[in-house]
Amino acid sequence: MNDDDVSRRRNLSQKLSEKMDSGDWATSYEMAERQEKERAARIRKAIEEFQNRGKGS
């Protein structure tokens, strides 16, 4: 792990603890979880479209 990784992790953990202190961490977590689900859905849709495109020919 290089210095950039260490400082990035430290920065992220600092931001997370600030959010936890402010009581805002739950909404941030829920937002991140929703974004991850949307991303997964987009990927699944793209895979399905790609597979269906192959079947058509």
Per-residue pLDDT 10s for the chain (57 aa) are 688 888 888 888 887 777 666 666 667 788 889 999 999 999 999 999 999 998 765
In single-letter form, the type of residue at position 43 comes to I
pLDDT of residue 57: 53
- Rounded CA separation 36/21 (Å): 24
- Rounded CA separation 32/54 (Å): 33
- Rounded CA separation 5/20 (Å): 22
pLDDT of residue 29: 81
pLDDT of residue 35: 94
